[in-house]
């Protein structure tokens, strides 16, 4: 089968992840604007209390958690195309709706829509990329992170461009809505690879079996939680840390963070081509991320935020979650949508739960709240390292 005819489809799928990169980052960049719009209390320094905004951002995880149990089976049964289109519709609703609402309740619902969009795209794109690029499925899935990181790298520059021209912050939301709608039209007409058929018995009937999670698969699910926690907490709380440490332009942390991701994806892909196993990355990268979090906790200078941003981008957000997901997909070739959903459910729980914890730490910690969040993040990352070590010790046994 000629896989090249599916390459335009792959490009369109990667574009949805570019928009996903904007969706998961832009709210964190405009916390003050939304806090003002939603009637938050003003602090002594003239800024607004963003704890309410952080709690609303956490609803993305709830949306993912709601949708994933349905999105995985939906993708496996009805196809990757429909799953992707459902995600596109939810994203269009989010980007357009969030810019107009002054109700925190409606904002919460719209953030849930964003999370649901993420779910349906995940259960479409990860299996699709592994089906299009069969020989390099893990690397293809790794490049979904590249698409996300390119958006996150460009976003601060787009924000600066919009602000310099006195344009409303809503401008970027409308732009993202336009791109995702146009991309959805292409996804509706471009070809998708056929899904793998289940083997048939001698009488011609389809063999029925249930997906059984091995200990290694369970560990990969747990890593989905811890890996997501490491980069989600940093991504949503780095602005406040930069301000605490005296940065005049904390939005630059995001650019260093995204640059780290881009470097990680390219170098990790090259190393995997040379034989580096994904499960080894699941140990090495979180270990460095753990050290980076402690470094930022103890060294309280502006420069450490940019250094830490690059290190967290590289070693936490640079594909650890994607490699855990692709490894799980290889373990369950006939249930790619379902196993993707299971790993991402853990990621969704992380998104919802730990951002709510971060909101609480931000409130009770006061000025030092960002450092409390760093310490909490380091603890969860350390737990993930333990999971990854156990996975490496028993993976070969479970793969047999």
Beta bridge partners of residue 48, listed in sequence order: 42
Residue 108: band (very low, low, confident or very high) from pLDDT cuts 50, 70, 90: very high
What pLDDT digit, counting tens, does each position of 230-248 carry? Answer: 998 998 788 889 999 999 8
Which candidate, 82, 37, 76, 278, places its Cα nearest to that of 173? 37
What pLDDT digit, counting tens, does each position of 186-223 carry? Answer: 999 999 988 666 555 555 555 555 777 888 999 999 99
Output the six-digit token pair for 162.
């919009």
Residue 174: band (very low, low, confident or very high) from pLDDT cuts 50, 70, 90: very high
What pLDDT digit, counting tens, does each position of 118-166 carry? Answer: 999 999 988 898 888 887 888 888 888 889 888 878 888 898 899 899 8
Which candidate, 326, 270, 281, places its Cα nearest to that of 141? 326
- Judge contact between 292 and 313, C-beta under 8 A: no
Q: Answer yes or no: is pLDDT of 352 > 80.
A: no
Which candidate, 397, 353, 331, 330, places its Cα nearest to that of 141? 330
What pLDDT digit, counting tens, does each position of 19-61 carry? Answer: 998 998 888 778 888 888 888 788 777 778 887 888 888 888 7
For the chain, the average pLDDT equals 88
Distance CA 8, CA 126 (A): 16
Q: Answer yes or no: is pLDDT of 1 > 60.
A: no
Mean pLDDT on 379-400: 88
Distance CA 142, CA 389 (A): 21
Q: Answer yes or no: is pLDDT of 396 > 80.
A: no
Q: Answer yes or no: is pLDDT of 400 > 60.
A: no
Kind and range of the H or E element at 188? Answer: helix 170-189
Q: Answer yes or no: is pLDDT of 295 > 70.
A: yes
Mean pLDDT on 174-197: 91
Q: Within 13 Å, how many C-alpha atoms sit on residue 199's CB side? A: 4
- pLDDT of 198: 56
Distance CA 374, CA 382 (A): 12
| Full-model pTM | 0.78
- pLDDT of 196: 64
Kind and range of the H or E element at 31? Answer: helix 31-37
Decide which of 39 and 315 is more confident. Answer: 315
Decide which of 27 and 113 is more confident. Answer: 113
Output the six-digit token pair for 396.
């070969």
In the block, which residue shows the tokens 């993707």?
A: 340
Output the six-digit token pair for 393.
């010790």
Distance CA 107, CA 126 (A): 28
Phi, psi at residue 42, to the nearest 5°? -90, 135
- pLDDT of 224: 93
Distance CA 39, CA 52 (A): 10
Decide which of 359 and 205 is more confident. Answer: 359
CB atoms < 10 A from the CB of 317, how many?
29
Output 133-139 pairs: Cβ under 8 A, ≥24 positions apart: 133/3, 133/10, 134/3, 137/326, 137/329, 137/330, 138/272, 138/278, 138/323, 138/326, 138/327, 138/330, 139/269, 139/272, 139/273
- pLDDT of 248: 87
- pLDDT of 131: 85
- pLDDT of 299: 95
> Sign of dihedral through CA atoms 320, 142, 29, 56?
negative
Q: Answer yes or no: is pLDDT of 351 > 60.
A: yes
- pLDDT of 207: 56
CB atoms < 10 A from the CB of 123, how many?
31
Structurally, at CATH architecture level, domain 3-193+213-399 sits in Up-down Bundle (1.20)
Mean pLDDT on 253-275: 90
Distance CA 358, CA 241 (A): 12
- pLDDT of 348: 80
- pLDDT of 200: 54
- Judge contact between 152 and 21, C-beta under 8 A: yes
**Percentage, residues of the chain above pLDDT 90:** 46
**Percentage, residues of the chain above pLDDT 70:** 95
- Judge contact between 14 and 144, C-beta under 8 A: yes
Which candidate, 336, 316, 338, 315, places its Cα nearest to that of 326? 336
Mean pLDDT on 285-298: 96
Print the SS3 string covering 132-152. Answer: HCHHHHHHHHHHHHHHHHHHH
- Judge contact between 126 and 73, C-beta under 8 A: no
């Amino acid at each position: 089968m000629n896989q090249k005819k599916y390459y335009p489809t792959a490009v369109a799928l990667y574009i949805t992840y570019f928009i996903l990169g904007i969706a998961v980052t832009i709210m964190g960049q405009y916390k003050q604007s939304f806090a003002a719009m939603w009637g938050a209390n003003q602090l002594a320094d003239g800024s607004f209390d963003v704890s309410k905004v952080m709690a609303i951002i956490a609803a993305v995880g709830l949306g993912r958690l709601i949708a994933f149990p349905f999105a995985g089976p939906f993708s496996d049964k009805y196809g990757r195309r429909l799953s992707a289109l459902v995600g596109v519709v939810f994203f269009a609703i989010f980007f357009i709706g969030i810019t107009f609402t002054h109700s925190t309740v409606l904002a919460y619902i719209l953030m849930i829509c964003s999370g649901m969009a993420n779910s349906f795209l995940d259960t479409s794109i990860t299996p699709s990329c592994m089906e299009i690029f069969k020989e390099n499925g893990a690397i293809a899935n790794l490049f979904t992170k590249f698409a996300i990181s390119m958006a996150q790298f460009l976003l601060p520059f787009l924000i600066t461009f919009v602000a310099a021209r006195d344009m409303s912050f809503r401008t970027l939301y409308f732009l993202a809505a336009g791109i995702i709608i146009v991309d959805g039209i292409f996804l509706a007409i471009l070809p998708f690879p056929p899904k793998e058929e289940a083997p048939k018995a001698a009488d011609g009937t389809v063999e029925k079996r249930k997906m059984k999670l091995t200990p290694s698969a369970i560990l990969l699910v747990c890593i989905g939680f811890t890996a997501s926690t490491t980069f989600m907490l940093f991504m949503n709380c780095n602005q406040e840390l930069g301000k605490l440490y005296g940065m005049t332009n904390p939005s630059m942390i995001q650019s260093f963070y995204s640059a780290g991701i881009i470097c990680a994806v390219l170098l990790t892909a090259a190393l995997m081509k040379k034989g580096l196993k994904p499960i080894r990355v699941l140990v090495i990268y979180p270990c460095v991320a753990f050290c980076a979090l402690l470094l930022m906790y103890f060294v309280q200078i502006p420069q450490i935020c940019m250094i830490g941003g690059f290190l967290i981008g590289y070693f936490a957000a640079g594909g650890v979650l994607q490699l855990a997901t692709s490894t799980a997909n290889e373990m369950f070739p006939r249930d790619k949508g379902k196993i993707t959903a299971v790993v991402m459910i853990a990621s969704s729980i992380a998104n919802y739960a730990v951002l709510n914890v971060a909101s609480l730490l931000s409130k009770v910690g006061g000025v030092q709240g960002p450092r409390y969040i760093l310490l909490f993040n380091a603890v969860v990352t350390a737990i993930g390292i333990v999971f990854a070590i156990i996975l490496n010790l028993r993976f070969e046994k479970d793969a047999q």
